[in-house]
Structure 1
């Protein structure tokens, strides 16, 4: 098939125990992203071109049958790629579970994956509250994110998580509280994962050192905040 020759994958992490809860997995890093978050630590992936064809990916996965449980599709943003649907269909047919890392900007693609039972776990990034979302993501996609969130909440069968990267020059405690309220208003009742930005990383834009949030910044009766 012609699409098998398309090069959309920047690189592969052949093994991880951290990216898919309780699963052994590999990570396919998709090149390109429709967001350009200043704190992104994968600029070489966001601005880079694909290095590996889908045929090469399938050859790799054939050797990992019965050794890995799952394949994580990350990036970049995997759901912007034209051939994501046949790719996931092929990976599922090979017997792997599939986890999607997404920024939530492609709700129609996400809905197709959910409707066809092609995804087993989803991690979705929440970039910031409505009034700061576009400034952080460099894309006016708050509405798309909310549509994707609604799809996940209403699905009720596919496990998923919402997560945020916190950089103190972009977000503050009040923003996080607003985001928690936003999640609550959408009937999200799972933990809200926060990753404090790690200083001294190579990022898309230069940023000052970030002052981390702490668990003591939040009360126990709020949506459960878990720091990673």
Structure 2
């Protein structure tokens, strides 16, 4: 094992039944992110450094063969690292399914991974309306999201679109606008809204968020699902 190999994994969750639909999985949390979302629950990952290298990660996964179905790439932003493609290749060669959680900011790297058939499931974050994207994420990757959505739609990989909702950051009219945008960009299926978890340590101080049910905003093409 190369002791000097670049460390890109901040931490590993060895087992989960919640993060890959109907599969046993582990989660690789990639260090660093190119967004600084106010509501982010993982400041230690966004601002932290890597602890595990690719060789160390593969050594861990070798011991999980026949025990896990899948590996989840999360973060941070897992596609921020060019080495993520090498790790995707190696994990697929080991026989694992791979789910990628992405903030939709890296269409070129996502496209490369899709072309190589490295991904089996994608969770794509839709952060906000165009007007609120920079305020919430401290970055401007709004159009990148739609590039990623288009790329995924051109492939046969199962995927979901999801949004974390804090009631002070996104209002009902924002959610309605986002649903309209998804429809206009050809999305058809479930749209998952995740309630902000109150009493969490986040990147920015936030007030209590009301848990509002937005299922009534569903349309004939898009079903709003609350998490």
Alignment TM class, shorter chain as reference: over 0.9
Residue in 2 aligned with 1:181?
Answer: 180
Return 216-225 or 100-109, whichever deviates more.
216-225
Would you say 1:164 and 2:163 are equivalent positions? yes
Shift of 1:227: 0.6
**Distance change in 2, residues 1:28/1:219 (3 Å):** closer
Q: How many residues align?
A: 227
Q: Distance between the aligned counterparts of 1:2 and 1:153, measured in 2?
A: 38
CA RMSD of aligned residues (A): 1.5
Shift of 1:200: 0.6
Residue in 1 aligned with 2:93?
Answer: 93
Q: Contact 1:26/1:70 (CA < 8 Å) preserved in 2?
A: yes
**Distance change in 2, residues 1:222/1:93 (3 Å):** closer
Structure 1 regions of 5+ residues with no counterpart?
A: none
| SS of alignment partner, residue 8 of structure 1 | strand
Residue in 1 aligned with 2:144?
Answer: 144
Q: Distance between the aligned counterparts of 1:29 and 1:191, measured in 2?
A: 25
| SS of alignment partner, residue 224 of structure 1 | strand
Q: Deviations over 1:59-101 (max 9, x none)?
A: 1100001110110000000000021111100010111111000
Shift of 1:190: 1.5
| SS of alignment partner, residue 136 of structure 1 | helix
**Distance change in 2, residues 1:217/1:57 (3 Å):** same
Shift of 1:171: 0.5
TM-score normalized with structure 1 length: 0.96
TM-score normalized with structure 2 length: 0.96
Residue in 1 aligned with 2:9?
Answer: 9
Q: Contact 2:215/2:223 (CA < 8 Å) preserved in 1?
A: no
Shift of 1:221: 3.9
Would you say 1:32 and 2:32 are equivalent positions? yes
Q: Distance between the aligned counterparts of 1:219 and 1:83, measured in 2?
A: 39
| SS of alignment partner, residue 95 of structure 1 | coil
Q: Deviations over 1:114-152 (max 9, x none)?
A: 111110000010000111111111111001111101111
Shift of 1:215: 4.1
Shift of 1:154: 2.1
Shift of 1:180: 0.3
